[in-house]
Amino acid sequence: MEYTNLGRTGLLVSRLCLGTMNFGPKTSEDDSYAIMDRALDHGLNFFDTANVYGWKTGEGVTEQIIGRWLAQGGGRRDKVVLATKVYGKMGEWPNEQGLSARHIIRACDDSLRRLQTDWIDLFQMHHVSRTTPWEEIWQAMEILVAQGKVRYVGSSNFAGWHLVAAQESAARRHFLGLVSEQCIYNLLTRFVELEVVPAAIEYGIGIIPWSPLHGGLLSGALRKQREGTGARSAEGRSSQDLEAHREAIEAYEKLAAELGHDPADVALAWLLSRPGVTAPIVGPRTIEQLDSSLRALELKLDGQALARLDELFPPVGKGGPGPEAWAW
């Protein structure tokens, strides 16, 4: 397993992050345990979850599953860099969501209880709050860090200017601020290259891409359709995007075959080659899916392959960061 620093911190995390969103809704508790054990066997130490995962309001189903797994002992908690999130709706009353100081502190305590741990390594804001001042957010996070309940703070789904505002506010308080940004980033969705990635690099914030395979669309969706095994890529957004990008997907799967690699491995390897990326999130439903995702760590795409991928899935505008991407 390869490891890298999480942003500008001294914390070492695996180059792939284990996403747990399927634990509960799509993967049984026993199978979830097996996947997490296998992840540790591979040396994969970075686990990501959220208090809303499990999709039963207020229950934190996925966090509870992880907590019961951690409670088995065997050094599990010390081996894992554990990340969870706050923001989503956890009850029917007004203050049971968002990023008020009240909700941040309450949500942290609730996550700690469900996860059966004394600390959260990375406490991430699941979305930006447009109504809560940064002074309030950082005051709450400072309390949690001082209490030893949180080690680092991250963001998710922030715009580039939100990262700047957050870090400048934290700097005025002599607080470390954000160390990571979790955002949608893949060959088909490259908007973050305009401003999010440049801002993150400037401030030493590690990028943690979610949906690296675009809901399965980049994992050989057309081939799986022909084989009758493409259930996930036939759902919702993936199904719509498949029709919109069918020609590019066909060429992409042909390119992967020419390279001698699975399309999913190519998509992950591309992300691993991108500036500022710490660890793409893989969300396996089975041990076999987890095992196969590690092949991407051994795949190094050459300049010709990277150029061909840019042709198939062009960056936004002229490519690269703004304003050069849209201006002279």
Nearest 5°: phi and psi at 81?
Answer: -90, 105
- In this structure, what token pair is assigned to residue 60? 């934190």
Contacts of 193 (CB under 8 A, 6+ apart): 315, 316, 319, 320, 321, 325
Smallest CA-to-CA distance from 16 within 160, 149, 209 is with 209
**Contact, 144 vs 110, CB < 8 A?**
no
**Where do the DSSP E strands lie in 115-197?**
120-125, 150-156, 178-184
CA–CA separation, 182 vs 206, rounded Å? 8
Smallest CA-to-CA distance from 60 within 49, 70, 71, 69 is with 49
- In this structure, what token pair is assigned to residue 150? 């949180």
- In this structure, what token pair is assigned to residue 308? 């061909």
Smallest CA-to-CA distance from 153 within 206, 89, 194 is with 206
Q: Tokens 């580039």 belong to which residue?
A: 160
Smallest CA-to-CA distance from 183 within 55, 256, 276 is with 276
- In this structure, what token pair is assigned to residue 120? 């959260």
Radius of gyration of the chain (CA): 20
**Contact, 303 vs 309, CB < 8 A?**
no
Active site residues: 53
Q: CA dist 156 to 47, 162, 240, 301, Å? A: 15, 11, 25, 28
Report the length, in residues, of the chain. Answer: 328
